[in-house]
C-alpha cells in the first residue's frame, strides 16, 4: 500500500534550501502538507495581477502596509505555505521568516482556470488558518468575491461584487477598487 508523502513546513524549507526545486519549470505551493503544482498564468491572469499590484501600491497606506505577491505565507495551523497573487502585509522586514496569517491584512487570488479551487479548497484553507480578508477575482464571470470573518473552514461574511461596483479592504475602506476599470479598463 502506498500513501502520499506529507511534508512539514520545516521539511519544505530544507528542500528549498538544498535546491530541490532549482531548474524546475513549475510553480508549486505547499498545501496541507502536499506539494501542489499550480497552473501557469496566462496573459489575462498576468494583466489582472499587474493591475492589482499597481492599484494596491496606489491605495495601500504605505506607512502601514507592504504590497507583495506570489511569495509564501506561512500557515503552520494547516501545514501550508500558499502564494497569493497579491497581498497586503503589515509593514516590517521579513528576512528571518515568511509572513504569517497574522501579518496579512488582505490576500487576493486571480482565478481563471483555478476558480473552483480558489473559491473552494483555498478559501477553506485561508479561513481555517484565520486569514482575515480574502478576495477572489473571478475572471470568467467578471466578478469579485470578498470573504471576511473566518470561522472554522468558512467565511461568514461573503459578498460578490459586479462591474459597476467598487470594493474596499476592511482595513482601509477609502481604498476603492473599481471593477469596471479592473475588467474593462485599458
The more confidently predicted of residues 117 and 71 is 117
Q: What percent of the chain has pLDDT over 90?
A: 71
pLDDT of residue 1: 61
Q: How many residues does the chain have?
A: 186
Confidence class for position 2, pLDDT limits 50, 70, 90:
low
Domain positions in the chain: 40-184
For residue 107, is pLDDT > 80?
yes
* pLDDT classification of 70: cutoffs 50, 70, 90: confident
Determine the pLDDT at residue 15: 87
Superfamily of domain 40-184: tt1808, chain A (3.90.1570.10)
Identify the residue with better confidence: 158 or 113: 158
User: Average of pLDDT values for 9-13?
Assistant: 86
Q: Over the stretch 81-98, which tens digit does the pLDDT of each residue have?
A: 999 999 999 988 888 889
What's the CA angle centered on 93, arms 56 and 47, to 5 degrees?
Answer: 25
Q: Which residue has the higher pLDDT, 72 or 27?
A: 72
6 pLDDT tier (thresholds 50, 70, 90) = confident
Buried b (16+ CB within 10 A) or exposed e, 86-113: bbbbeeeebeeeebbbebbbbbbbbbbe
Please give the mean pLDDT across all residues of the chain: 92
- Measured CA to CA, the distance from residue 163 to residue 108 in angstroms comes to 18
Mean pLDDT of 137-158: 98
Dump pLDDT digits (tens) for 18-43. 888 887 777 888 899 988 888 777 89
Amino acid at each position: 500500500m502506498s500513501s502520499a508523502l506529507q511534508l512539514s513546513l520545516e521539511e519544505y524549507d530544507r528542500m528549498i534550501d538544498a535546491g530541490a526545486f532549482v531548474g524546475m519549470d513549475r510553480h508549486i505551493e505547499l498545501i496541507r502538507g502536499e506539494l501542489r503544482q499550480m497552473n501557469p498564468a496566462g496573459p489575462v491572469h498576468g494583466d489582472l495581477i499587474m493591475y492589482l499590484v499597481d492599484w494596491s501600491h496606489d491605495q495601500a497606506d504605505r506607512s502601514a502596509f507592504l504590497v507583495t505577491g506570489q511569495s509564501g505565507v506561512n500557515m503552520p495551523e494547516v501545514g501550508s505555505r500558499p502564494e497569493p497573487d497579491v497581498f497586503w502585509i503589515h509593514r516590517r522586514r521579513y528576512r528571518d521568516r515568511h509572513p504569517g496569517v497574522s501579518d496579512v491584512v488582505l490576500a487576493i487570488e486571480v482565478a481563471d482556470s483555478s476558480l473552483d479551487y480558489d473559491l473552494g479548497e483555498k478559501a477553506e484553507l485561508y479561513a481555517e488558518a484565520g486569514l482575515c480578508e480574502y478576495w477572489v477575482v473571478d475572471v470568467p464571470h467578471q466578478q469579485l468575491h470578498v470573504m471576511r470573518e473566518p470561522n472554522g473552514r468558512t467565511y461568514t461574511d461573503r459578498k460578490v461584487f459586479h462591474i459597476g461596483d467598487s470594493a474596499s479592504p476592511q482595513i482601509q475602506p477609502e481604498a476603492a477598487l473599481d471593477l469596471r476599470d479592473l475588467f474593462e479598463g485599458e
